[in-house]
Structure formats: structure tokens, C-alpha cells
Amino acid sequence: MAPGKIFVGVGGWTFEPWRGVFYPDKLTHKCELEFASRKLTSIEVNGTYYSTFKPATFAKWREETPEGFVFSVKASRYCTNRRQLASAGDSIDHFISQGLHELGDRLGPINWQLMETKHFDLEDIEGFLKLLPQELHGRPLRHALEVRHLSFEDERFYDLARRYKAAIVFADSDKFPKIDRATAGFTYARLMRTKNDVATGYEAEEIDGWTKQAQAWAERGDAFVYFIAGAKIRNPAAAQALIERI
């Protein structure tokens, strides 16, 4: 099987401290996505976690980005911030139907980020996974579960994710489980240790290590690697350093 593609980026594209560091000082705000999408190969959209957007907005994002660029989309908190995930059907339908189809081939995985307090409950997680649609307007959907409680370090959870072809988000963090299991045809990673006093966020040898890791992930399908949190001001530089090596 031929290796998958490696997509590298950051979370969002609107962050004032990036001006003069990532964005040119005189770049207008309306041109930020156009600029970022030509320096990075993917962006995780975080705004969809907090708000609903119109179809025209997703269409505009598609039009502003080049061919081959991909968005991952963070699912609405109304779908995932609840005690019983298996009861989220209406919220999931509302989230999926808001206009995601307008992204067309720019639509990558959907990240379903669970609460830090959410424990692994086999019945509830399976009920939730059953609710996730497999396609949208004839286009296959890819789902990634970002679990943030240690109870998910459980073979039963890995088997469940594999059965429903959902990726488990890999988190480079001391705070969350670091699970690297091949449960879907793609990998989703969030690297969260960028440091403010390092120009590229991670040291050169660390970037080299993530390059090898991303290439290994690509052996089992597309790999989506995002520099998230940490020293946010350094995340674009970290992503560009990884893209350069790849």
C-alpha cells in the first residue's frame, strides 16, 4: 500500500500575536486564511467548537485556500460536553448539517473532543460512535475521538474505535493520554509542547523526531499533525519546520 499524505498545521488562523511573527505586519485580516493556507498544508478549525457557521462561510473558506489544502473541523461542544454522549444525536445532526459539505475536498477529519472529566464507558461510547454519519452529500467522513481521561487507556476502547473506524487522537502532552493505535485509515495528532524560547517551538532534533514519526504514521494512511496549545506564538514556525523536513 502506498503511503498516505502528511498534512501539517495549527489550530485556527486568527491570533493577533502572530502578526509580525507569522503574518506580515501590513497583511489585512481578511487575507490571513489565504496567507496561512499557502504556508501550511492544513488547519484545525476551532471556531466550530463554539459557534455555528453559515454554509456561505464554509464555501468562502474553500475558495480562499489552494487545491490540496485540508481543514480538520472541531465538533461542537454541544455534541461532546455532556454526561451521556449517546444522547447527542440531534446535536450531531445540527453540527454536520450546518454547511460542512461546502468545504468539498477541503474537508478533512472531524475532531470530537471529549471533556477531561469524561471516563470511558463502553456502552455510552459505542452509542456515540453509532451516531456519527459515515458520509455527507456522498463524500466519506473521517472521525477522530480526542479522549482526555486516563480511563480510555483500555483495550476495549481501542477495539471499539477500530470497529467503527474512528481514529484516536494522539496527544503529545503530560496532561492527556498518549495513545498511538491504528484504529482507522488515518492518524490525527496534536503536538502540545511548543516552547516560547525556541524559535521553532520544538528543538531541531525534536522536529526531526516528529518528521520520522509522521512518516511512520503515513505508512498506515493519511496523517494530520497539528501544533496546538503550548507556546501558541511558535506553532506556525513549528509547523513550517516540520513541513520543510517532510
Q: How far is CA 105 from CA 69, 126, 131, in A?
A: 9, 28, 23
Query: What pLDDT score was predicted for residue 125?
Result: 98
Contacts of 187 (CB under 8 A, 6+ apart): 167, 170, 217, 218, 220, 221, 222, 223, 224
**Burial (Cβ within 10 Å: 0-12, 13-18, ≥19) of residue 197:** exposed
Judged against a pLDDT cut of 70, whether residue 192 lies above it is answered with: yes
Query: What pLDDT score was predicted for residue 48?
Result: 97
On whether residue 128 sits in a domain, the answer given is yes
On whether residue 225 sits in a domain, the answer given is yes
**175: helix, coil or strand?**
coil
Long-range contact pairs involving 88-91 (C-beta distance under 8 Å, separation at least 24): 88/128, 88/131, 89/131
Query: What pLDDT score was predicted for residue 2?
Result: 75
Of residues 172, 199, 194, 93, the one with CA closest to residue 136: 93
Judged against a pLDDT cut of 70, whether residue 1 lies above it is answered with: no
Q: Which three cell numbers stand for residue 160?
A: 471499539
Whichever domain contains 58, its CATH number is 3.20.20.410
Query: What pLDDT score was predicted for residue 37?
Result: 98
**Site of grid cell 473532543:** 113
Domain count, the chain: 1
On whether residue 118 sits in a domain, the answer given is yes
Query: 128, 86 in Cβ contact below 8 A?
Result: yes
On whether residue 1 sits in a domain, the answer given is no
User: What is the reported pTM?
Assistant: 0.96
**Phi and psi at residue 138, in whole multiples of 5°?**
80, 0
Query: What pLDDT score was predicted for residue 147?
Result: 97
- Ramachandran region of residue 12, left (φ > 0), alpha (ψ -120 to 50) or beta? left
| DSSP H helical ranges for the chain | 32-39, 47-50, 55-64, 77-80, 89-96, 122-131, 155-163, 204-218, 235-245
On whether residue 47 sits in a domain, the answer given is yes
On whether residue 50 sits in a domain, the answer given is yes
CA 146 to chain centre: 9
On whether residue 24 sits in a domain, the answer given is yes
Judged against a pLDDT cut of 90, whether residue 12 lies above it is answered with: yes
Tens digit of pLDDT for each residue in 91-148? 999 999 999 999 999 999 999 999 999 999 999 999 999 999 999 999 999 999 999 9
Query: What pLDDT score was predicted for residue 50?
Result: 96
Tens digit of pLDDT for each residue in 30-66? 999 999 999 999 999 999 999 999 999 999 999 999 9
Domain that holds residue 28: 6-245
Q: Which residues of 7-33 are buried (b: 16+ CB within 10 A; e: fewer)?
A: bbbbbbbebeebeeebbeeebeeeebb
Separation of alpha carbons 78 and 75, rounded Å: 8
